[in-house]
Chain A
Amino acid sequence: MKLSGLKYLTNQGIENIWKNKMMAFATFCVLLISLLLVGCAGLFYINMNSMILGLGNQNEIFVCLFPSTPQEYVEQVDSQIQQLDNVDSVVFIPKEEAYKRMQHQITQQGQEILRYIDDSEFMPDGFSVTVANNDKIGETTELIARIENVETAQSSLQVAEFLRELRRVVTLIAGAVIIALAVVSMIMISNTTKQSVYSRREEIQIMKYVGATNSFIRTPFFVEGMVTGFFAGAGAFFITWAVYKSVYDILMSQGMLMSAFGIGSLIPFNKIQIITAVAYLLIGSLVGAAGSTISTRHHLDV
């Protein structure tokens, strides 16, 4: 096909949107709603995942050194822990701090005993270590325990296991919901594009009678679907942006919720806006183009 021919067909595709504005608007709306449904489900999933990971990061490894470990060895241990792959942060807990913590944690009977101990010297220095990947907290704990001068390294594997299981369940449910929404969306899009094409079946037949090839007939429909899908993607992006930002601001203003449910780990929109925009525009354009082009197939057999 010559360049002039391609230009003509592209222009025809764009003009057809205006000429068939009612059907184009219907397709636009269906695409917009479908993209919003799937997009919001996707964003909900990645935020849930991030929240669970955030909760996991609060799961600490408590490291106790041997009592009376000299200061230079303490620093050496600190440095060796920092060098481990999965370690996110290392906070030194001096024996005095450890003693205070113990005071808060032990039972009433224990408190009675502590009355006779007014010195924290018997307590070891230690570290509180958080990990980047909570799933690997067990391995990291073992590695820390092997470091010289470390007496014990302990973490709550049950919490880690619970969070891992929670993530798996959330992933499965979100995956199923996204797939179901995608299928429903495809059916809605397919029906709308079919109707749009059906209303122009006579036009397609005329084109066939005058010797138009299938690709010649399909190209304007492809362009039309792609442009409609692109605008639906843009619309979905702006709606998502507005809603996401509002919900994010509301949740972030709830200080208690932030710490209790890991809401502090919610992803701010500016971190995902580019990938969201690209996904919406790309998927909108592709689905629009494919739906429109595939729907013409039935009418091409003349």
Chain B
Amino acid sequence: MVELQNVSVTYSSGVDALNNVSLKINDGDFAFVVGSSGAGKSTMIKLLLKEIDATSGVVKVNGYNLSRLKKRKIPEFRRTLGFVFQDFRLIPTMTVYENIAFVLRVIDAPPKYIRKRVPYVIDLVGLQSKTDSYPDELSGGEKQRVAIARALVNDPQLIIADEPTGNIDPELSYEIVELLKLINDQGTTILMVTHEHDLVRHFGGRIINITGGEVVYDEVIMGSGNELLPIEDEYSETPQYEPPPQDIEPAYNEQYIDDIISAIIDTSSHNKENTDGGEGD
């Protein structure tokens, strides 16, 4: 759960990046954060990552009160999150496998579990054939799928995606959000910052619009999917929805999505078994 109570952030330069922001994102939600450049989206992300502190107000994420969180507890807190960045932020000297396994090594996971879990999430994002490739050998979409796999491998409660579609082809953007939606369907809270309104309209869900450091809109809208749906007045300033071009073939078909869903269900039950059974691997 993410909760901001009357949060303000003023930088040392005197710029008010966030101004008395209050919002709550419940467990299992999928929320889009939209807004123009300089609106305060990045500041909010930095706050949620405990990269900066709020000037005033309370920030709570996954049960941690970030306003009071001690420095030495930051690694522990960050292990409850998954991050997906616009620029992927993969370690260039590590293979796809190593980039993902690294997260588990940070938490000192047993090698046996790493050997089992990492190929599993690689399968999940459809990159089996790229396991031993280095980031430089991947396309933008593939890099982002690796980033999502890395965010997912630790089974986090919350995934924060900062413009995850910003550096990839528009047609692949749908694929990435679809993947995040599938992860969300299994109970992981997703907070996705984007300025791509087409995506927001297509998928729908909770939309938080930040402008001038303030939340000016926070509603749930129906995703248009295959049909256009009425849009709230407050959100009407955004460009009109344009469906993705029909001639673009998604990178995976419906059968593949079904496979992913089954796989996620499997891994959830597998994790539950591990937790209940205390196998420890």
Contact = CB atoms under 8 A, between A and B. Distances in A.
A210 B106 contact: yes
Nearest to B85: A209
Max chain B CB contacts within 10 Å: which of A19, A206, A212, A302? A206
Contacts of A8: 105
B89 A209 contact: yes
B83 A1 contact: no
B177 to A, nearest CB: 21
A206 B82 CA distance: 12
B249 interface: no
B103 interface: yes
B93 interface: yes
B105 A5 contact: yes
Interface string A1-33: 110110010000000100110000000000000
Interface stretch (B25-33, B107-115, B211-219, B252-260): B107-115
A212 B75 CA distance: 6
Contacts of B49: 209
A202 B89 contact: yes
Contacts of B110: 2, 4
A210 B51 contact: no
A1 B106 CA distance: 10
Given A19-B93, A20-B93, A211 B79 contact: yes
A8 B76 CA distance: 20
Contacts of A5: 105, 108
A211 B89 contact: no
Contacts of B138: none
B91 A211 contact: no
Interface in A191-208: 202-203, 205-208
Contacts of B92: 203
Contact of A2 (B75, B81, B108): B108
Contacts of B75: 208, 211-213
Q: Is the interface of A mostly helix, strand, loop or mixed?
A: helix
A302 B51 contact: yes
Contacts of A210: 78-79, 83, 102-103, 106, 150, 154
Contacts of A211: 75-79, 81, 103, 106-107
Contact of B93 (A203, A205, A208): A203
Given A4-B111, A211-B75, A302-B51, A216 B91 contact: no
Interface in B56-106: 75-79, 81, 83, 89-93, 102-103, 105-106
Contacts of B76: 211
Interface residues of A, number: 21
Interface in A173-222: 202-203, 205-213, 216
Interface string B139-153: 000000000001000
A20 B75 CA distance: 26
A206 B79 CA distance: 12
A302 B90 CA distance: 17
A15 B185 CA distance: 39
Contacts of A20: 93
A213 B77 CA distance: 11
Contacts of A16: 93
A65 to B, nearest CB: 80
Contacts of A216: 106
A202 B107 CA distance: 20
Contacts of A302: 51
Contacts of B150: 210
B93 A207 contact: no
A8 B115 CA distance: 14
A76 B128 CA distance: 95
A1 B108 contact: yes
B51 to A, nearest CB: 6
Contacts of B102: 207, 210
Given A211-B75, A211-B76, A211-B106, A206 B111 contact: no
Interface of B: 49, 51, 75-79, 81, 83, 89-93, 102-103, 105-108, 110-111, 150, 154
Top 8 closest pairs, chain A to chain B, by CB: A211-B79, A211-B78, A19-B93, A212-B106, A211-B75, A213-B75, A210-B103, A5-B108
25 contacts: A2-B108, A5-B108, A8-B105, A16-B93, A20-B93, A202-B89, A203-B91, A203-B93, A205-B89, A206-B89, A206-B90, A206-B91, A207-B102, A208-B75, A208-B78, A209-B78, A209-B89, A210-B103, A211-B75, A211-B76, A211-B77, A211-B78, A211-B107, A213-B75, A216-B106
Given A5-B108, A20-B93, A211-B106, 10 more contacts: A4-B110, A5-B105, A206-B90, A208-B75, A208-B78, A209-B49, A211-B76, A211-B77, A211-B78, A213-B106
